[in-house]
Structure 1
Amino acid sequence: MTQPQPSRAVPTDARAAMEALNAEAGKLNIWLRTQANAPAQRPWFKETELVPSGKLAQGRVAAAQMKALPHLWRWREISPYLDRIADVARTANISPIEFADRQQFLLTNPGLAGRLQVTATLRCAVSIYNSGDLAPAHMHSPNASRTILSRRGGYTTVEGERCEAERGDIILTPNGTWHDHGNDSNEPVTWIDTLDWPVLEFLDLIWLDEDMPDAPANARVQKQSLPAGHSQRLYGQGGLVPRFATTARGIGHETSPHIQYRGKDIVAALTALRGEAGDPYEGVYLDIVNPVNGASLFPTVGYGAQLLRAGEETRFKRETASTVYVVMQGRGQTEIAGTIYDWEENDIFVVPNFLWRRHVNAGSSDAVLYTMSDAPLIQKIGQYRAQGKNEKNETIQIVA
């Protein structure tokens, strides 16, 4: 049997010659390979300390890579900018919606060089609609949701179903659905927009349509063709799915037909489970799912809600998925890769993939967090793994 020969190091002069040749070839937008598949990612799961893991390796492949960083957006710091946008528009004597398309700001991750995304797969924005503001009917390829932060949340009409919103509601606008947003109340409404935009952008599948067929002349909103609460009546009872109703909403695929998930129902469900042991890594956690098949609300994004009881501390966990958190109630802190982030109501923070994290509620009242995660996408491509620290502080496999 022939023994494999050890690989030989490339002579310095030969490597220099190749790099010089590459500099010349670069004018033709080509790269002459000088490194054999240098990995961009070190094996995160072999590094068991709580410091950041899964760092970028060295080499050509890693040179253009970026990694999302953990970050906390404090509501008391970012929310004033919503009013500043309105001030600029008011000075120009033009509606903020017309002035800037949306009266909102997008969150940018400090590790992603200014890209309009909070993780490699998710985009988040914070929007405010003043009385009378309206975003005309449109549809697009990304899946999107609104998480309502204000006491009242205006309305969103999706495929003819008008959803009047309140704090804590999650309203879906699945890919390929006609929808419009507005505020016909006397007070401003605020929400968080979450989209899988970066995934679609990477795949070159982004599109937007604002020419709604059969729309009345000069109409900016769609006609309400379904009674309010339509999807709630059809799919709002757990384990009960009507056989006579179509689950298709718009021209999208594999998305939930239940459009509006009520915040009061989510909190009531969490509260009813408060006496349970819960999960050592998550507390009392609920997946918010497609009522027809139990799948995630979108193929690319999963939603959940968790209750952290007063005095509760979770164990450390890390996973190959990235998660965005919104603080809906209470105060607490999350330790991410050795750094502690203190959070309070309406704050938003992100835990990128591979990083150890744990939650602590040291206060005297319960806390409620909403989550948006790319775990469904990571699972579909066969790359989801999770590890945790047990009671002996040993690293164990949760999902291998």
Structure 2
Amino acid sequence: MSTNVHRLPNRDTALKALYDEIGAKNMFPFWATSADVQNDEIKQLMATSRAVPFLWRCAEDIEPILNKAVELVTMDDSERRSLVLVNPGLAPKRATVSTMYTAYRLNDADEIMPPHKHSPSAVRFGLKGKGNFTGVDGENIVFGPGDLVLTPNDTWHNHGTVGGEQALNLSVLDFPLVETLNAVHFDHHYAEEVDGVMVPMKQQSERFPADYSQRIYGYGGLMPRFASKQSRGAGFSSPMFVYRWDMMRELLERHKDWEGDAHEALMVEYIDPTSGQPVFKTITFFVQMLRPGESTLPLRQTANLLVAPFEGTGHSIVDGQRFDWNAFDTLAVPGGSWCQHVNASDKDPVFLFVASDEPTQKKLDLYRKWGKTKDDAVVRLV
């Protein structure tokens, strides 16, 4: 039969008609043909949208737009004044890498939005202003630069500012991952029981002291048994909803003379203090410290990364492309990319806030990690 097919005088015309029919019926022909013809199925299969390394600049590009938006877009127009970073390789999909997106949010003085909840897990990382506000499951959290606040899957929360000044923060969500799984849901109809009746509310009643997270969970290795037995959120994340920058910075500074890791320098992960696991089941977060003049060796991993410099200046080399960054920028490092970071200063350290989909990949046994030695040899790390 194979011989008869190749002897057809109109084979190319017949093949084109066959492919047109397959496409019209929303199917894909998964058989390989030679690479010099139009319908090379392997090339087509691999030509899906892929994230590319890309750098967004906060001071030059993001903040000027947000400042204009404060004047033009009020809370009556929208409850969110955020800019989502869209990877050029994935546009128009709202994704900064394939599984996560970063958004910058600027709230004007004393703006508070109503509560909502959603299936994507999210964090807020303070950049500017001492009055960033997030109420999470009845804990009213005011946070400043470097503080990390969780808004977990299916947990009521609201955002805004207090203290009479604007505040800027950075959000990271696993929205693209949850969207791919067709599991996105939002709820904006917040209500509380009053005298046996559910009453719509525009703000959550305070159920926990404002410093509950830090007071109860903020001592590594020590867990108060007298803590409230009330569940926190939907129970899908760390019960500690705020991680303060001064504790993270102090820990890293205390170890600044340690040798560190050649590929990651000094890196600390935010964890659930009750389990030692990442704060979410899908994504995790780190702070990475590069001491003055320090550079990391090239590292490649299957995990997708979002890297946001918080203090200092420097550059990263991703798949041979150099990206010079400053504080509050965001760098997309797609999974599978070779990446190394360089601290440009010989006097001051650099601190990088990093988000990763490593937990998802580990649960699926897909996570892999390689590094290059000083001699440029590739070694398996995980």
SS of the aligned residue for 1:23 comes to helix
2:45 partner letter: V
From the superposition, tell whether residues 349 and 20 of structure 1 become closer, same or farther in structure 2 (CA, over 3 Å).
same
2:233 partner letter: G
> Which residue of the other structure, out of 323, 342, 347, is the alignment partner of 1:360?
342
- Equivalent pair of 1:35/1:59 in contact (CA under 8 Å): no
| Number of the residue aligned with 1:269 | 251
Q: Does 1:282 align with 2:264?
A: yes
2:363 partner letter: K
| Number of the residue aligned with 2:88 | 110
1:101 partner letter: E
User: In the TM superposition, what are the counterparts of 1:1-400 in structure 2 within 5 Å?
Assistant: 11=6, 14=11, 16-31=13-28, 33-35=29-31, 58-63=42-47, 65-77=48-60, 78-89=62-73, 96-214=74-192, 217=199, 219-245=201-227, 246=229, 248-253=231-236, 255-363=237-345, 364-399=347-382
SS of the aligned residue for 1:199 comes to helix
From the superposition, tell whether residues 106 and 242 of structure 1 become closer, same or farther in structure 2 (CA, over 3 Å).
same
Q: Distance in 2 between the 1:288 and 1:228 partners?
A: 20
Q: Distance in 1 between the 2:200 and 2:365 partners?
A: 47
Q: Give the Å deviation of 1:15.
A: 6.5
1:35 partner letter: W
From the superposition, tell whether residues 215 and 308 of structure 1 become closer, same or farther in structure 2 (CA, over 3 Å).
farther
SS of the aligned residue for 2:348 comes to coil
Percent identity between matched residues is 33
Q: Distance in 1 between the 2:30 and 2:13 partners?
A: 10
| Number of the residue aligned with 1:51 | none
SS of the aligned residue for 1:271 comes to helix
Q: Give the Å deviation of 1:37.
A: 12
Q: Give the Å deviation of 1:323.
A: 0.8
- Equivalent pair of 1:35/1:60 in contact (CA under 8 Å): no
SS of the aligned residue for 1:100 comes to coil
Q: Give the Å deviation of 1:391.
A: 2.3
What is the number of equivalent residue pairs in this alignment?
366
TM-score under structure 2 length normalisation: 0.90
Provide, for residues 76-106 of structure 1, a one-character-per-residue CA deviation record: whole Å limited to 9, x for no partner.
Answer: 22211101112223xxxxxx22313311111
Provide, for residues 2-30 of structure 1, a one-character-per-residue CA deviation record: whole Å limited to 9, x for no partner.
Answer: xxxxx99x848556534413423444434
Listed as ranges, the gaps of 5+ residues in structure 1 are 1-6, 39-56, 90-95
From the superposition, tell whether residues 337 and 15 of structure 1 become closer, same or farther in structure 2 (CA, over 3 Å).
same
Q: Distance in 2 between the 1:19 and 1:365 partners?
A: 62
Q: Distance in 2 between the 1:153 and 1:342 partners?
A: 30
Q: Distance in 2 between the 1:368 and 1:16 partners?
A: 60
1:146 partner letter: R
SS of the aligned residue for 1:79 comes to helix
1:164 partner letter: V
- Equivalent pair of 1:138/1:212 in contact (CA under 8 Å): yes
TM-score under structure 1 length normalisation: 0.86
Question: Please, what is the CA RMSD of the aligned residues?
Answer: 2.3
Q: Distance in 2 between the 1:153 and 1:15 partners?
A: 67
Q: Distance in 1 between the 2:183 and 2:12 partners?
A: 39
Listed as ranges, the gaps of 5+ residues in structure 2 are 35-40
SS of the aligned residue for 2:381 comes to strand
